[in-house]
Amino acid sequence: MSKYIFITGGVVSSLGKGISGASIGKLLQLHGFKVNMIKFDPYINVDPGTMNPYQHGEVFVTIDGAEADLDLGTYERFLDVYTSKANTNTSGDIYRTVIDRERSGYYNGATVQVIPHITDEIKRRFLALKDKCDISIIEIGGTVGDIEGLPFMEAARQFQLENKKEDIFSIHVTLVPYIAGAHELKTKPTQHSVNKLREIGISPDMIICRTEHHLDKSLKKKIALFCNVREDCVVDAMDAHSIYYIPEAFYNQKVDTIVMEKLKIKPKMKFDKAWFVKIKSFGKFSVVVKVAVVGKYADLKDAYKSIDESLNIAAAALKAKAEINYLDAENKGLLGKLKDYDAILVPGGFGNRGVEGKIRAITDARENKIPFLGICLGMQCSVIEVARNLANLKDANSMEFCEATKHPVIKILDEQKNVKYVGGTMRLGSYKSQLRKNTLAHKLYKSLEIEERHRHRYEVNPEFVELLKKVGLYISAYHKDVLPEIIEMKNHPFFIGVQFHPEFGSRPMRPHPLFKGFINVALLNKKKQQ
């Protein structure tokens, strides 16, 4: 069985097409289907790995090492699946494939064109997961009407024509804005957006309306009439307190039944509502834990999307609520602010802006025994901090920030020395590491071997490990006995730095052990102080 659900968006961007798709995917999963999602982004970058987080938010890393859109994180967390290179596509990558083929003579003298060559390649990629799941949900990034999105829409139109009606379900996600002055929800932008889509040749089976207020029956009727869909196929997607409540909101509007009806599929098992119940239970908490995330993109939560999710998930599993504040590492008053927090996290990053602030925050966490979690650059900063302040190597630094430093405690990975292109060339994806017995990391993971995702060019310099050990820094995990993967500090309730990105491994039902341990110690500390 191979069924396809297409998700397009209209009116404005950032409507949560990924969350809508993943919510429907979740419902279908709870009916027993194997579901996965594929993202198509219309920009020319080959992947978002080289993009500034201000442009794109977090770069998500798949286990097989693709640098991808943050929506893949949403797919993984909602569906508890693993995504791969096959789940992420961009115009740049698609054009590159076609142009490489052209250069190799593959097209045998033909003029290579958007239609059919680019659209054929897009259609080929629509099929990427067909043998691995029952239903592929295909999210087309951008907004209908964008010039750069046209080849994807055209490919979706052709795909629809070339396949059976019952194999494809098309969903359009739009905005129904509320005009406060008139106390009215407006359907006109949705009408225009659907018209635009129909001009291209795609008539949606369902319209998901993002709205701040519930759509009443008459409004649904109006949208249905003007947009050529059944009234029950106009779905109210009101802003929710938690994104994980959306599957239930869709279930209550029978979205899953409508989709299965058109796709002519029957549930494979009795619908399991336990997921809804468990998700709801996360909303109940008795204590708040305040976490400071000290980074470069303090005003852009999306830059740290998976970290945010991981902290929330871990806190919820411990019947607590994480109050997360993103503090600018460059802010002069940073240290004064840190006093109010139960835990400090320094996330990954590139470039030296804010690094000194991050190091100061780590000194604060270390000296005042505040639980600390350093991720990738955050871990590297903690090694610099310990080297400077405990091992007395005053100019200790990373070669990323000062190539000439006398004490390069963080050095470039050997495999990275001759890398010329910046895109897609880091140490990327899942690697195994072996944990040392009786360390905090071992206690938390409850395993001696772990596999986590990486995205970096630098590493802890093994030449300094013995010296750092003497001042209390311990390497609690290595990759193949050579590459330090986890560091921890003795005589501290929770001081852990990891070279990898544990945040990509959190799931609502399976909090990541490092995040859970981190929040747990913060809660215990808090209790002690009360």
376 is annotated as an active-site residue: yes
Q: Quick one: 129 or 376, whose CB is closer to ligand GLN?
A: 376
Which C-beta is closer to ligand GLN: that of 341 or that of 504? 504
Query: Smallest distance from the beta carbon of 402 to ligand GLN, in angstroms?
Result: 13
How far apart are CB 413 and ligand GLN at their closest, in Å? 8
Location of structure tokens 């001696």: 448
- Answer for which of 10, 295, 348, 408 binds ligand GLN (CB under 6 A) is 348
Query: Exactly one of 227, 492, 503, 512 is catalytic; which is it?
Result: 503
Q: Please pick, from the candidates 349, 408, 484, 505, the single residue that binds ligand GLN as defined by CB under 6 A.
A: 349
In our burial notation (b when 16+ CB lie closer than 10 A, e otherwise), range 22-37 reads bbbbbbbbbbebbbbb
Site string for ligand GLN, 465-504 (x = CB under 6 A): ----------------------------------------
Q: Is 381 a catalytic residue?
A: no
Catalytic residue among 209, 227, 233, 376: 376
Which residue is at the shortest CB distance from ligand GLN?
Answer: 348
Peptide bond into 116 cis (omega under 30): yes
Which listed residue (172, 407, 501, 512) is catalytic? 501
Minimum distance between the CB of residue 448 and ligand GLN, rounded to whole angstroms? 25
What's the min distance (Å) between Cβ of 374 and ligand GLN? 10
Kindly tell me which of 398 and 525 has the beta carbon lying closer to ligand GLN.
398
Please, which residue, 303 or 334, has the CB nearer to ligand GLN? 303
Task: Tell me which stretch binds ligand GLN (CB under 6 A): 5-13, 154-162, 268-276, 345-353.
Answer: 345-353
- What minimum distance in Å lies between the beta carbon of 408 and ligand GLN? 13
Touching ligand GLN, residues 366-385 (CB under 6 A): 376-377
Bridge partners, residue 9, by sequence: 173
d(CA 17, CA 33): 20
Nearer to ligand GLN, 7 or 460 (CB): 460
Nearer to ligand GLN, 27 or 346 (CB): 346
Contacts 24+ apart (CB under 8 A), 349-352: 349/295, 349/296, 349/376, 349/377, 349/378, 350/377, 350/400, 351/296, 351/400, 352/400, 352/401
* Cα–Cα distance, 334 to 201 (Å, whole number): 54
Least Cβ distance, residue 400 to ligand GLN (angstroms): 5
Residue in 298, 343, 353 with CA at minimum distance from that of residue 322: 343
Judged by beta carbon, residue 97 or residue 416, the one nearer ligand GLN is 416
Q: Which is nearer to ligand GLN, 263 or 361 (CB)?
A: 361
Residues whose CB falls within 8 Å of the CB of residue 90, separated by 6 or more in sequence, listed in order: 40, 41, 42, 43, 44, 45, 46, 47, 48
The 441-470 contact track toward ligand GLN, x by CB under 6 A, reads --------------xxxx------------
Residue-by-residue DSSP string for 107-161: TTTPPP-IIIIIHHHHHHHHTTTTTT-SEEEEEE-S-TT-GGGHHHHHHHHHHHH
As measured in angstroms, the least distance from the Cβ of 375 to ligand GLN is 7
The Cα 102–Cα 98 span in angstroms is: 6
Minimum distance from residue 410 beta carbon to ligand GLN (Å)? 7
Residues 386-405 contacting ligand GLN, CB under 6 A:
400
Q: Which long-range contacts (CB under 8 A, 24 or more apart) does 186-195 make?
A: 187/219, 187/222, 187/223, 187/226, 189/10, 189/11, 190/10, 190/11, 190/223, 190/227, 191/223, 191/226, 191/227, 192/10, 192/11, 193/10, 193/11, 193/143, 193/144, 193/145, 194/10, 194/226, 194/227, 194/228
Instruction: Tell me the β-bridge partners of 68.
Output: 60
# binding residues, ligand GLN (CB under 6 A): 10
Instruction: Report, as residue numbers or ranges, the catalytic residues.
Output: 376, 501, 503
Binding stretches for ligand GLN (CB under 6 A) = 348-350, 376-377, 400, 455-458
